[in-house]
Chains A and B, each alone.
Chain A
Amino acid sequence: GESVGLHLPTLSVQEGDNSIINCAYSNSASDYFIWYKQESGKGPQFIIDIRSNMDKRQGQRVTVLLNKTVKHLSLQIAATQPGDSAVYFCAENIGAGGSYIPTFGRGTSLIVHP
């Protein structure tokens, strides 16, 4: 899961395994959540999002679960592949000015071993 500090938590998995990356968010007023993937030397890339009126959303090989009671978000990646190796972080968003103000988690480094 995510934590504060210079060193990112790391999740190491074998190719083909399922991966679960966790995120604890802080603001109960957050109503929109996004998971991003960031590969070395690149900007973050949108993976999947979920609104606060949902508790689960599925995409291609990815599922996001939202538990508002404990302010917890998770990203599940099915059949993890070496190309999934990257830093993953969540963003909680609070509506403001017709848009959103995001707050990002620190990230989790996912390492997939072939």
Chain B
Amino acid sequence: KAGVTQTPRYLIKTRGQQVTLSCSPISGHRSVSWYQQTPGQGLQFLFEYFSETQRNKGNFPGRFSGRQFSNSRSEMNVSTLELGDSALYLCASSGGTGGSTDTQYFGPGTRLTVL
């Protein structure tokens, strides 16, 4: 079974631009979560989608948004990029049951650099 894939793997943007990252979960998984990882703040939860609905959201500004499609693929968008948005953005998928303790499987991440 193919793992979680994320595209693109690397991205360079300038301040003020917006960016869209994509995540394809493991086949059959319906939950997709997004995380931001930085050296300063570590790994932080952005949001989780299940069956096209946002189920939970972390403590990030409204510039960070996401969506999930009917095939469970998910995208996250960051508008008006700031230097501090430079990070590794990770996507994880889990379950088919939507169970709260389904094991999460992470993708390799998208490395975003904001100049």
Contacts and interface: CB of A to CB of B under 8 A. Distances in A.
Nearest to B102: A99
Contacts, number: 59
B42 A105 contact: yes
B84 interface: no
Question: What is the predominant secondary structure among interface residues of chain A facing chain B?
Answer: strand
Interface string B8-26: 0000000000000000000
Interface string B53-97: 001101000000000000000000000000000000010100000
A: contact size bracket: 20 to 34
B90 A44 contact: yes
A87 B103 CA distance: 19
Contacts of B101: 32, 49, 51, 100
A54 interface: no
Interface of A: 6, 32, 41-46, 49, 51, 89, 91, 95-107
